[in-house]
């Protein structure tokens, strides 16, 4: 029976997941540990509205459990020693060096966690992969634990997350399924049963799926690949719609009513972002190539190629529409997060569109209700396209959307924040340069009303 849980990693997955487990299992002690002192301090802050991860409803969940059976600290070794079960929820970015550069997952943090667990643990532990990992990573973790530990028994399980940022709390409270993979030995099955018992506190048993560990690892990559594939597919059709006079929204509605297809992930946009889709597909591509499955790798790689193309052509359309030059022109980007209801900007389309426009010497103003100025500049600096000083001279981040739009030649909607639909667009129009352009990268706004005001509106996938 699991009575004490340790989670290594207090990020977008570890923090919310452990908060919900603590909330739903008051008899289980949950320790979330991280070496990042500032991140832990933010989780322990008195103001629950300023947690390091923004998710609707998360503040209330943390408020109820923190201090009762939910704890955040930097005392990693102590939490490992006390735990019956240890979740590994650290970053697994795409490699930027060596073999597999640009595709394979960088597993150095996973290995460091495994070695730390092995060196500290003096009692039997269940070690649970929560990070998204390549197939057969559990085998590597098991080898490290077995060969470098203190002679104790470790059972390694795969328990991938399927939460979506912006709806993470609801996804955790009412999951479509919980997937747990483990070895088929008696010890492995016992470990699976122990973790099933934790989730069974609030998840119906029929929604808890158990598999072997390899199937569990691959299922996570496959789920994200399928979702991303749908986005790239509808975005590919959006370009065809623009050239033929069709409306991608009408096409999506028509095919989405087919029960075999369904309506989800069929909304055309400037492209998908976030920490998972691109990274997981690239991982899938790398795994396929490593087994010599060239055609399989090429198939999935095309999903990424289409997504990158969509971002580039969105930026190119802005330049083309503004008389083939944006040099010295003011362009307002509304939204920087990769999707609404999150402050996560990883792989956000806004970053890459902004970069393309900066290459054309545009002046950019950014407004996002949840993303800080420092994060915007960090994202641009990470691209290493230009110096920090140059980025700061060309990009201004403001706290007021009307200030962002004032005097602008064009507005680009980059994130589908609901508040954008409520703005006084008449007021914004009156303060912009004429003609006033809106490039709606999320098909969010009421185009006829905007055109009645006087805006020239260009929406993804709507032919002119």
Query: In Å, how far from its chain's centre is CA 92?
Result: 12
Tell me what pLDDT residue 298 has.
97
- Residue pair 177/219 in contact (Cβ under 8 Å)? The answer is no
Is pTM beyond 0.85? Reply is yes
pLDDT band for position 149 (50/70/90)?
A: confident
- Residue pair 73/31 in contact (Cβ under 8 Å)? The answer is yes
pLDDT band for position 217 (50/70/90)?
A: confident
- Closest listed residue to residue 335, CA positions, set 271, 400, 408, 417: 417
- Residue pair 282/307 in contact (Cβ under 8 Å)? The answer is no
> pLDDT tens, 403-435?
999 999 999 999 999 999 999 999 999 999 999
Q: pLDDT at residue 135 above 70?
A: no
| 25 is a catalytic site residue | no
- Residue pair 440/459 in contact (Cβ under 8 Å)? The answer is yes
- Residue 436 tokens read as 């006033």
Average pLDDT over residues 148-170: 90
Tell me what pLDDT residue 141 has.
87
- Output the average pLDDT for the chain: 94
Q: How far apart are CA 195 and CA 217, in angstroms?
A: 16
Tell me what pLDDT residue 134 has.
66
- Residue 276 tokens read as 């998972």
pLDDT band for position 97 (50/70/90)?
A: confident
Average pLDDT over residues 33-38: 96
The proportion of the chain whose per-residue pLDDT surpasses 90, expressed as a percent, equals 84
Q: Return all residues near 276 (Cβ < 8 A) that are at least 6 apart.
A: 132, 224
Average pLDDT over residues 187-196: 96
Q: How far apart are CA 58 and CA 10, in angstroms?
A: 14
Tell me what pLDDT residue 464 has.
66
Provide the β-strand partners of residue 8: 33, 88
Which residue bears the tokens 């060309």?
394
- The DSSP result for 272-283, as a single string, is --SSSHHHHHHH
The proportion of the chain whose per-residue pLDDT surpasses 70, expressed as a percent, equals 99
> pLDDT tens, 363-386?
999 999 999 999 999 999 999 999
Average pLDDT over residues 245-250: 94
Average pLDDT over residues 190-212: 97
> pLDDT tens, 43-83?
999 998 889 999 999 999 999 999 999 999 999 999 999 99
- Residue 220 tokens read as 């996570």
pLDDT band for position 15 (50/70/90)?
A: very high
Average pLDDT over residues 132-141: 75
Q: Is 141 exposed, middle or buried (0-12, 13-18, 19+ CB in 10 A)?
A: buried
Q: pLDDT at residue 308 above 90?
A: yes
Determine which one of 113, 241, 276, 405 is catalytic: 276
Q: pLDDT at residue 390 above 90?
A: yes
Which residue bears the tokens 């030649």?
409
Residue with the bigger pLDDT between 34 and 144: it is: 34
- Kindly report the length of the chain: 464
Tell me what pLDDT residue 139 has.
81
């Amino acid at each position: 029976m699991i009575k004490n849980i340790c989670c290594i990693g207090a990020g977008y997955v570890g923090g919310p997941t452990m908060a919900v487990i603590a909330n739903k299992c008051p008899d289980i002690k949950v320790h979330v540990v991280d070496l990042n002192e500032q991140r832990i301090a933010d989780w322990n802050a008195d103001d629950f509205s300023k947690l390091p991860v923004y998710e609707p409803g998360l503040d209330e969940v943390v408020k109820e459990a923190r201090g009762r059976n939910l704890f955040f600290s930097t005392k990693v070794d102590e939490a490992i020693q006390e735990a019956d079960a240890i979740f590994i929820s650290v970053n697994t970015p795409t490699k930027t060096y060596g073999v597999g550069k640009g595709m394979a997952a960088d597993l150095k943090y996973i290995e460091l966690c495994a070695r730390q667990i092995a060196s500290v643990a003096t009692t039997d532990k269940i070690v649970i992969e929560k990070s998204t990992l390549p197939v057969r990573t559990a085998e590597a973790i098991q080898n490290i634990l077995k060969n470098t530990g203190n002679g104790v028994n470790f059972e390694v399980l795969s328990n991938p997350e399927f939460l979506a940022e912006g709806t993470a709390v609801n996804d955790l409270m009412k999951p479509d399924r919980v997937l747990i993979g483990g070895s088929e030995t008696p010890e492995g099955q016992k470990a699976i049963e122990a973790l099933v018992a934790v989730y069974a506190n609030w998840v119906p048993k029929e929604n808890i799926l158990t598999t072997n560990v390899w199937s569990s690892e691959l299922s996570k990559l496959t789920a994200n690949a399928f979702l991303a594939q749908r986005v790239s597919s509808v975005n590919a059709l959006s370009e065809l719609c623009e050239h033929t006079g069709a409306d991608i929204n009408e096409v999506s509605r028509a095919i989405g009513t087919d029960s075999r297809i369904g309506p989800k992930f069929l909304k055309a946009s400037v492209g998908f972002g976030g920490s998972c889709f691109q990274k997981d597909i690239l991982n899938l591509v790398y795994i396929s190539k490593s087994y010599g499955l060239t055609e399989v790798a090429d198939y999935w790689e095309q999903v990424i190629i289409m997504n990158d193309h969509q971002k580039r052509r969105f930026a190119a359309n802005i330049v083309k529409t503004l008389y083939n030059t944006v040099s010295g022109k003011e362009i307002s980007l509304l939204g920087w997060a990769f999707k609404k209801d999150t402050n996560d900007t990883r792989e956000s389309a806004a970053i890459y569109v902004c970069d393309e426009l900066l290459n054309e010497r545009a002046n950019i103003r950014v407004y996002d209700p949840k993303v800080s100025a420092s994060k915007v500049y960090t994202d641009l600096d990470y691209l290493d396209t230009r110096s920090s000083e140059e980025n700061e001279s060309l990009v201004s981040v403001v706290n007021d959307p009307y200030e962002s739009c004032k005097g602008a030649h064009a507005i680009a909607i980059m994130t589908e924040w609901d508040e954008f639909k409520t703005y006084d667009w008449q007021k914004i129009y009156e303060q912009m340069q004429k003609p006033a352009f809106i490039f709606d990268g999320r098909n969010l706004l009421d185009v006829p009303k905007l055109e009645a005001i006087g805006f020239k509106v260009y929406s993804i996938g709507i032919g002119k």
